Chains A and B, each alone.
Chain A
């Protein structure tokens, strides 16, 4: 019982990280209609930004976090501007290949700068563990869950209540009609990339705090899993990415604890395949009506 509760909590924590990353995939897909495969590598850059700020520059943790968020946001917006914007009218395949190219570029730049050996993330949060009877919850897990919850509520309010949020929903439904309403599609896409990348930076901080070791290819696996989570929840749907991320994390931890650490990924992806066979648009995805 205690083991189950602890597993569920660590699953929720891991799931929150996936969800934060998945939000970036799903928002960019919903609005720019492209898969940004370089998104996972932004996490890696964010983690290195923290390491450099804290270990090399000796800055306090809060400043390091702000720097990491700023670096990722700027990087995301720059990638969009330099690599994706010129391809706005190109076929989706061209954009996809470009995104994969950007992903390798980021990994290799990191390899050049930081070398191939893994670096350890400095300990940034000194939060005491919480003991509830026999169950112990780590401080980092609590912080991850709390911050993720706040971010998700804020993002939902932003999308539903603000004008920029309305503009984003309008662009995701119909770019041309949105332009005719005076909404700049380019500006909206820039804001989307900025938000997605900032969320990736937050994810990278919690990822570093949980998994400690960072190397240039660190971003790929959480990136792929978060992408899977986004598809699982219904790509393009914001609540879908949240739900998909959390379910994926819980599923992964459950199979690691009760079945096999080795098999956990196979099990997680197996469940994904099953869900997509039954519901191809994902859990909360909308079935796309073909325009006639």
Chain B
């Protein structure tokens, strides 16, 4: 009957969502701590077109959150708003309790947000190791003079960065690829490297834009394990856009459904699966063709 039928067997983590002020829900274990993300009534217009309207969402500190919706619903636009690649026309974003208004994307990265892209955007001419080291830029400032003169402190930083980068690569089983050019890696490895690079910036919240796109079922299964490992190991929040409903329903705790730029449902996987508005958004109203459900 619905696109969610084949995922009914997948059990979600069973984390208990609790109400949070402003009508949101977050996992119970994150209650009492500042949410990593609070978006309030976000909206953006392009010319006369409203791409996203009245988007509100709260993500707990260690939550795995999902953002789903049919094609063109505005999911990636929300990610672009959260990273200030687009400036919101309306509304506020609080990252770890601090407003992101007026910040540049680079400053937001320092504040603790990182993301991957729907179409992989690695620095493909640079080595795998250098890609991760660019991500590590965040952690320590370097004076230009030190860089030029190769002082002791600079070399020490390079050594530390290198070992940290190798640790991160090792965590994802990619240490042996460190010297390769990023652009020459197989597709799945490029997707993984993009996540490693994002993690290198030491984020509090990592946004994954369709991390399973183009992956086969076994790669997707591995990805799900990795997303949980990221959350458990680094104790950070993960928010993902994904069309693979098995993945979303089995690892996300809170799910937000967008359609035509508006939030049409929020809740646990079970609530989302049962929500008639969600099913309608994906399949269209009865008697209509259900083709645009793939997505």
**Residues of chain A contacted by B126 (CB below 8 angstroms):** 166, 169-170, 173
A181 to B123, CA, bound (A): 11
Mask for A156-184, Cβ within 8 A of B = 1, else 0?
Answer: 00100111111101100110111111111
**Residues of chain B contacted by A162 (CB below 8 angstroms):** 147-148, 154
**Of the residues B115, B121, B125, B134, contact of A183 by C-beta under 8 Å:** B134
Q: Does A268 contact B (CB under 8 A)?
A: no
Q: Assuming the A-B contacts A158-B148, A169-B123, A176-B121, are A184 and B104 also in contact, with contact meaning beta carbons closer than 8 angstroms in the complex? A: yes
Whether A184 and B123, one on each chain, are in contact in the complex, defined by CB atoms closer than 8 angstroms, is no
Whether A169 and B125, one on each chain, are in contact in the complex, defined by CB atoms closer than 8 angstroms, is yes
Q: For B140, give the chain A residue with the smallest CB separation.
A: A163
Q: For A164, give the chain B residue with the smallest CB separation.
A: B147
A177 to B150, CA, bound (A): 27
Q: Which of B106-114, B224-232, B257-265 contacts A (4 or more CB under 8 A)?
A: B106-114
Interface residues of B in 208-261 (CB under 8 A from A): none
Using C-beta atoms within 8 Å of the partner chain, give the interface range for chain B: 35 or more
**Residues of chain A contacted by B138 (CB below 8 angstroms):** 181-182
Distance (whole angstroms) from the CB of A190 to the closest CB of chain B? 11
Whether B134 and A167, one on each chain, are in contact in the complex, defined by CB atoms closer than 8 angstroms, is yes
**Residues of chain A contacted by B106 (CB below 8 angstroms):** 179-180, 182-185
Q: Assuming the A-B contacts A162-B148, A169-B126, are A180 and B115 also in contact, with contact meaning beta carbons closer than 8 angstroms in the complex? A: yes
Q: For A179, give the chain B residue with the smallest CB separation.
A: B105
Interface centre among A163, A178, A182, A185, by most B CB within 10 Å? Answer: A182
Distance (whole angstroms) from the CB of B148 to the closest CB of chain A? 7
Q: Does B133 contact A (CB under 8 A)?
A: yes
Q: Does B130 contact A (CB under 8 A)?
A: yes
Whether A173 and B123, one on each chain, are in contact in the complex, defined by CB atoms closer than 8 angstroms, is yes
Whether B123 and A174, one on each chain, are in contact in the complex, defined by CB atoms closer than 8 angstroms, is yes
A176 to B85, CA, bound (A): 8
**Of the residues A176, A180, A184, contact of B114 by C-beta under 8 Å:** A180
**Residues of chain B contacted by A180 (CB below 8 angstroms):** 83, 105-106, 109, 114-115, 198, 201
Whether B104 and A179, one on each chain, are in contact in the complex, defined by CB atoms closer than 8 angstroms, is yes
Q: Does B191 contact A (CB under 8 A)?
A: no
Q: Does A191 contact B (CB under 8 A)?
A: yes
**Residues of chain A contacted by B75 (CB below 8 angstroms):** none
Whether B114 and A291, one on each chain, are in contact in the complex, defined by CB atoms closer than 8 angstroms, is no
Interface residues of A in 167-215 (CB under 8 A from B): 167, 169-170, 173-174, 176-185, 191
A177 to B200, CA, bound (A): 13
**Residues of chain B contacted by A292 (CB below 8 angstroms):** 119
Whether A163 and B137, one on each chain, are in contact in the complex, defined by CB atoms closer than 8 angstroms, is yes
Interface residues of A in 276-292 (CB under 8 A from B): 286, 291-292
**Of the residues A166, A170, A176, contact of B105 by C-beta under 8 Å:** A176
Whether A182 and B137, one on each chain, are in contact in the complex, defined by CB atoms closer than 8 angstroms, is yes
Q: Does B124 contact A (CB under 8 A)?
A: yes
A291 to B144, CA, bound (A): 33
**Residues of chain A contacted by B130 (CB below 8 angstroms):** 166, 169
**Residues of chain B contacted by A286 (CB below 8 angstroms):** 125
Whether B147 and A163, one on each chain, are in contact in the complex, defined by CB atoms closer than 8 angstroms, is yes
A174 to B119, CA, bound (A): 13
Interface residues of A in 234-292 (CB under 8 A from B): 286, 291-292
**Residues of chain A contacted by B142 (CB below 8 angstroms):** 163-164
Whether A181 and B144, one on each chain, are in contact in the complex, defined by CB atoms closer than 8 angstroms, is no
Whether A177 and B119, one on each chain, are in contact in the complex, defined by CB atoms closer than 8 angstroms, is no
Q: Assuming the A-B contacts A166-B133, A166-B134, are A182 and B115 also in contact, with contact meaning beta carbons closer than 8 angstroms in the complex? A: no
Distance (whole angstroms) from the CB of A122 to the closest CB of chain B? 30
**Residues of chain B contacted by A166 (CB below 8 angstroms):** 126, 130, 133-134, 137
**Residues of chain A contacted by B104 (CB below 8 angstroms):** 179, 184
Q: Assuming the A-B contacts A179-B109, A180-B105, A182-B110, are A170 and B123 also in contact, with contact meaning beta carbons closer than 8 angstroms in the complex? A: yes
Distance (whole angstroms) from the CB of B78 to the closest CB of chain A? 15
Distance (whole angstroms) from the CB of A237 to the closest CB of chain B? 11
Q: Does B117 contact A (CB under 8 A)?
A: yes
Interface residues of A in 30-62 (CB under 8 A from B): none
Q: Does B35 contact A (CB under 8 A)?
A: no
Distance (whole angstroms) from the CB of B191 to the closest CB of chain A? 14
Interface centre among B106, B126, B200, by most A CB within 10 Å? Answer: B106
Whether B147 and A174, one on each chain, are in contact in the complex, defined by CB atoms closer than 8 angstroms, is no
Q: Does B269 contact A (CB under 8 A)?
A: no
Q: Does B135 contact A (CB under 8 A)?
A: yes
With A166-B126, A179-B104, A179-B106 given, name 10 new contacts (CB 8 A). Answer: A158-B147, A162-B147, A163-B133, A163-B137, A166-B130, A174-B121, A180-B83, A180-B114, A181-B138, A191-B144
| B contacts, CB < 8 Å to A | 83, 85, 104-106, 109-110, 114-115, 117, 119, 121-126, 130, 133-135, 137-138, 142, 144, 147-148, 150, 154, 157-158, 197-198, 200-201
14 chain-A/chain-B pairs, Cβ below 8 angstroms: A161-B150, A162-B154, A166-B134, A169-B126, A170-B134, A173-B123, A174-B121, A176-B105, A176-B121, A177-B123, A182-B110, A182-B138, A183-B106, A184-B104
Q: Which A-B residue pairs are the 4 nearest by beta carbons?
A: A182-B109, A179-B105, A182-B138, A162-B147
